[in-house]
């Protein structure tokens, strides 16, 4: 990854007010090159906001930088970026006495829970109309969209497991149910995405089935009549059966189907 990427974040597309603070870009660049650890990088990357007269007004620029980093830097960097986010949310809160606080999160915290990060991620990367957009794309664009779709699933699952950014486990159930319970599922997108969720957060998803976790994602009506107010073990077993059916029906996503099927069975058997 060229260092040009970090410079471009200061004024993406030449629009300076949309960019991050130069010191934020430099802190991320140093962390990327392993010149600093997560703790030091967290302090450096948040310093411009800590020192601002109106800290809450600038949170979105830092979150934009880190969201873009999660999606655009080499995929191998995702765990390190999530570690950085975790370090940020564990920073001590700055003293806001005498500063403008109108745009500060309601609880007065800038860092705990990464306020607004999850909402910004959802606004940017969880569009309900992605299937319609996909239908109009050419093959090359479709390949790029598939790569991004699967990467988003991996990032979301890792954020859930790490307890970072307020990303809900519901999104994992939604991903699984959409892949396995919709007759119009885009299998070459949704099965690999489900594979990432199961590989990263399978234990958390299964625990919800054991404990009867309430979730809007499993309550949503789809095509197999499995909707319910809570996640159940019966639903989990049904998903396993659907994977077995898909494995017999299609070769397009055979590897991903086999991975999900094997991992789901392993998780269930390990808890029996």
Q: pLDDT for 144-168, tens place per residue?
A: 999 999 999 999 999 999 999 999 9
Tell me which range, 7-11, 79-83, 222-226, is most confidently predicted by mean pLDDT: 79-83
What's the predicted TM-score (pTM) here?
A: 0.93
For residue 123, the tally of other CB atoms under 10 A from its CB is 11
| Cα 62-64-67 angle, rounded to 5 deg | 110
* Bridge partners (DSSP) listed for residue 230: 214
- Residue-wise pLDDT for 49-87, tens only, equals 998 888 888 899 999 999 999 999 999 999 999 999 999
The whole-number pLDDT of residue 139 equals 66
């Amino acid at each position: 990854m060229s260092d040009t990427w970090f410079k471009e974040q200061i004024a993406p597309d030449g629009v300076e007010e949309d960019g991050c603070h130069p010191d934020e870009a430099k802190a991320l660049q140093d962390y990327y090159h392993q010149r600093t650890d997560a703790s030091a990088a967290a302090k450096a990357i948040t310093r411009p906001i800590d020192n601002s007269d109106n800290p809450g007004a600038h949170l979105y620029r830092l979150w934009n930088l880190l969201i873009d980093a999660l999606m655009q830097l080499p995929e191998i960097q995702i765990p390190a970026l999530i570690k950085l986010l975790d370090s940020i949310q564990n920073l001590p809160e700055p003293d806001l006495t005498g500063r403008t606080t109108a745009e500060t999160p309601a609880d007065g915290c800038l860092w705990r829970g990464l306020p607004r990060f999850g909402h910004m991620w959802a606004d940017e990367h969880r569009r309900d109309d992605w299937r319609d957009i996909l239908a109009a794309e050419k093959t090359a664009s479709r390949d790029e969209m598939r790569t991004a779709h699967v990467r988003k699933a991996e990032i979301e699952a890792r954020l859930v497991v790490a307890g970072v950014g307020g990303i809900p486990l519901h999104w994992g159930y939604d991903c699984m149910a959409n892949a396995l319970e919709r007759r119009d599922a885009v299998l070459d997108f949704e099965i690999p995405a489900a594979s990432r969720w199961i590989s990263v957060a399978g234990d958390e998803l299964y625990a919800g089935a054991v404990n009867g976790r309430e979730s809007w994602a499993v309550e949503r009506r789809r095509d197999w009549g499995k909707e319910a107010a809570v996640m159940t073990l019966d639903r989990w077993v049904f998903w396993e059966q659907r994977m077995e059916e898909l494995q017999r029906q299609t070769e397009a996503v055979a590897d991903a189907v086999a991975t999900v099927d094997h991992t789901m069975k392993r998780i269930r058997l390990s808890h029996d």
